[in-house]
Amino acid sequence: MLFPGTFDPFTRGHRDIARRASRLCDKLVIAVMENANKNPMFTPDERVDLIERSIAGEDLQNVEVMHWDGLLVELYRQLGCCACVRGIRSESDFRYEAELALANRLLYPDYDAILLPCRDDLSLISSSIVKEVGYYGGDISKMVPAEIIDTVNAKLMKGRQQ
Question: Catalytic residue numbers?
Answer: 14, 38, 89, 127
Sequence-distant (6+) residues with CB within 8 A of 101 are 84, 111, 112, 113
CA distance 47 to 50: 5
User: Residue 160 Cβ, how far from ligand COA at the closest point, in Å?
Assistant: 18
Closest CA to 82 of 158, 161, 21: 21
Task: Indicate the residue among 56 and 107 with the shorter CB distance to ligand COA.
Answer: 107
Stretch that binds ligand COA, among 44-52, 57-65, 123-131, 133-141 (CB under 6 A): 123-131
Sequence-distant (6+) residues with CB within 8 A of 117 are 87, 88
Residue 47 interacting with ligand COA (CB under 6 A): no
User: Residue 119 Cβ, how far from ligand COA at the closest point, in Å?
Assistant: 8
Sequence-distant (6+) residues with CB within 8 A of 54 are 10, 15, 144, 145, 147, 148
Residue 118 interacting with ligand COA (CB under 6 A): yes
Binding site for ligand COA (CB under 6 A): 4-8, 11, 13-14, 17, 33-35, 38, 71-72, 87, 89, 100, 103-104, 118, 122, 125-128
